[in-house]
Chain A
Amino acid sequence: MSKVRLLNKKTGGLTLKQKEAATGIGFILLPLISLAVLMYYPIIRSFFISFFDWNLLSDPVFNGGENYKTLMKDEVFFQSLKNTLHWVVMYVPMSVITSFLLALLLDRKLKGSGFFRTMYYLPVVCPIVVVALLFVWIYNTDYGILNFILKELFHIDPIGWLTDTRYSLFAIAVMSVWKWAGYNMLIFLAALQGIDESLYEAAALDGVKPMTLLFKIKIPLVMPSIYFVMLTAVIDAFQMFTEIFIMTKGGPGYSTYTVSYYLWSNAFEYNKMGYACAMAAVMFVIIMVVTLVQNKLMNKKVQYDA
């Protein structure tokens, strides 16, 4: 009650409520301007450029929807989309399951779990350039340590991890799981540790088996985190550039072209800026749709759990 009264008290011409609003706007003003100028304005401008034929060097020439028409017939673009999708289907389950298992493991209050947590997180802080170069070396068909180990232990003939179209994307996905598992693990760990202890106690009293506990309590309760991790993974799939740029340059063939890599090649190698922007617009729409669908699913799921 006192608060309400206070809010209506006038101070220097402004009510407290007005003052609060002014403070709030003041606090977000710079971030908001930065967001508008550096995010939303570029998105709009990029969309605008997508209607031009522009080589970055000479003046842009308006060409209507020509870029979009070409895009719809561009095999490499569709191949890149397909690769991105393939990546999502392969990477997301691998990553979610690995990180979740790691989180379960560290959620048992083992001695020294802090140490292991730190260690598992180490790849996350590594520069992606470093990780990519390191794995190029590890994956090397003839001189890489991985093929050597496989040969010594399992008598497997050398595999062209980055050169065989059957494995190249998979090999990069495994590297990404290694790189990011620690991060996703922390998100899951936080979620697991947020589960009310009393739920476990009640379950223990009822004699619930560990497996049932996992599937009926733990997984449903961390579902929002799982959605969060999945959504991030999908967005990252569209962002994937540096790994490709350093490890395969999209090859062999077009087997590791991702949307971002193809977009970059068009913009900065082939000088097709307008075309690249059209690609960006299509990518934007796809991501928005994915996000909306995932949000819908998530809300449904959360309501169901509640």
Chain B
Amino acid sequence: MSGTAGGSAENTSWEGASKAAELSGKVTYMHSGDDYEREMYANVFKSYQKYAPNVEIEQMYVPSDYSTKLKTLATADNLPDLFWASESTVKDYNDAGMLANMNDMLAEYPQLTEDIIDGVLDFGNIDGNQVAFPKDWTSYVMYINRDLFAEAGVEVPTNDWTVEDYKEIAAKLTQKRDDGTVDVYGTAVNNYRADWINWMGNYGAEWFKDGKSNLSSPEALEGLKVMSDVIEAGSAPSPGSVSSTGDSEDRLFIIGKVAMYPSGRWVIPSFRSECDFEWEALEMPKGTTRSCPFICSMVCISDKSENKDIAANVLSYQMSDEGLKLVMESALSLPVYSDLMKDESFVNTPPSADAFINSAEYLGSSSQLAVSKTGKWAEYNSMIVAALSDAFEGNTTIEEAVSKIDEQANSTLFN
């Protein structure tokens, strides 16, 4: 699998090139994301059209309220030919008959699944049918501000650090004035599924077990406690104190008010252009074990599409080395192919790629996979967000929060 930048069927390693030349028609491709991504995909489509001069791709970019938009389109019987769907919504969409079965496409384009990272296909596979294809993924890592470490005289940890180290370092990095004003927080906490799944997973929690919510299991609780502990210790702002909906932590990292911050790869472009200090990415600290949440946008093909052939060809190009290179350049996400993970032109630096490469080894968990197949993620997610926000803001304890979640979820959703 090596790609050249060429644009003709002769000098490309992309398997779909000759078919592309024969295709003609129009497909619509809908995606979310931000402006960077819009431009990136515009590039991918432009370069695809060099192979497929008779194919027109209409790009539909939806900056906010993506799933509302997708559902209304589905209801309106107006689905785009290709669209993104988060791994947690695939089941719903499949049940509604929106998704085309991709098994034949995978057979037609073997490069699609060659060298693919273990387990990533499972999230788009329902009862043996591949109905969604993971276009990329992002692991969760800890970003650190090296300058603030130096300032506090704290040594930058190595990838084998533990949760105990993390808490201790977070406390050391926090700079508090006598009047209680905090100038620098050691770390930050997001009330976001990737964060909880990560921390719970690092204690080997089976937080969704036998079709039931199991957040009050000791392992899950221990994982979630990492988050509430750093808040209680004053080493992290409560997620709501930064913004009531808890989504500004990356800003605080960029302006040097937070020294360590767990997040996905998608923050890298803005960190690169906006951070005026040395920064690095580490693996998430180890609890009793490690487990990385699978955060991914899947590409789906509408079952109603009249141009599934073209759609499959576009998908195959997007996933080819050539197409992926255009996307991975931005460092918003990671390739799903293990050989490309080690290739610097796909996983570029800074930050160093180790944390990302290593995290592919412990990607995904049975709990996350099971819950994504219930089709009730959205509602379950709201329950967890609601109860945990109460705990993180100090209105209840974390123990109360998890038992409330389990009770509520198991009596209404998973009964």
Contacts and interface: CB of A to CB of B under 8 A. Distances in A.
A256 to B, nearest CB: 9
Interface string B174-217: 00000010100000000000000000000000000000000000
B244 A254 contact: no
Interface string B106-132: 000000000000000000000000000
B393 A269 contact: no
Contacts of B71: 56-57, 268, 271
Interface stretch (A156-164, A181-189, A206-214, A233-241): A156-164
A164 B240 CA distance: 9
Contacts of B382: 250, 265, 269-270
A268 B93 contact: no
A254 to B, nearest CB: 5
B240 A271 contact: no
A57 B67 CA distance: 13
Contacts of B98: 57
Please indicate which of the listed interface residues B378, B389, B396 has the most CB atoms of chain A within 10 Å of its own CB: B389
B74 interface: yes
Interface string A62-105: 00000000100011000000000000000000000000000000
A49 interface: no
A222 interface: no
Interface in A135-157: 136, 139-142, 157
Contact of B396 (A58, A253, A271): A253
Contact of A55 (B92, B182, B408): B92
A160 B241 CA distance: 6
Interface residues of A, number: 34
Contacts of B154: none
A57 B96 contact: yes
A157 B93 contact: no
A219 to B, nearest CB: 38
B97 A57 contact: yes
A252 interface: yes
A269 B67 contact: yes
Contacts of A46: none
Contacts of A55: 92, 95-96
B241 A248 contact: no
A164 B393 contact: yes
Nearest to B179: A151
A271 B71 CA distance: 9
A226 to B, nearest CB: 33
Interface in B30-51: none
A247 interface: yes
B274 interface: no
Nearest to B395: A165
A56 B75 CA distance: 6
Nearest to B396: A253
A140 B243 contact: yes
A57 B75 contact: yes
B390 A253 contact: yes
A55 B378 CA distance: 13
Interface string B74-92: 1100000000000000001
Interface in B233-274: 237-238, 240-245
A221 to B, nearest CB: 42
Interface residues of B, number: 36
B379 A162 contact: no
Interface string B1-17: 00000000000000000
A169 to B, nearest CB: 12
A249 interface: yes
Nearest to B96: A57
B386 interface: yes
A123 interface: no
A247 B244 contact: yes
A252 B97 contact: no
A268 B72 CA distance: 9
A251 interface: yes
Nearest to A162: B244
B93 to A, nearest CB: 7
A163 B408 CA distance: 22
Interface string A222-264: 0000000000000000000000000111111111000000000
A269 B379 contact: yes
A168 B241 CA distance: 12
Contacts of A168: 244
Interface of B: 67-68, 71, 74-75, 92-93, 95-98, 180, 182, 237-238, 240-245, 376, 378-379, 382, 385-387, 389-390, 392-393, 395-396, 408, 412
21 contacts: A142-B237, A142-B241, A160-B238, A160-B241, A163-B244, A165-B390, A165-B393, A247-B244, A248-B245, A250-B382, A250-B386, A251-B240, A251-B244, A253-B390, A268-B67, A268-B71, A269-B68, A269-B379, A270-B376, A271-B71, A271-B378
Given A57-B98, A255-B390, 13 more contacts: A55-B92, A56-B74, A57-B74, A57-B75, A57-B95, A139-B244, A141-B241, A164-B395, A165-B390, A252-B392, A255-B395, A265-B382, A270-B382
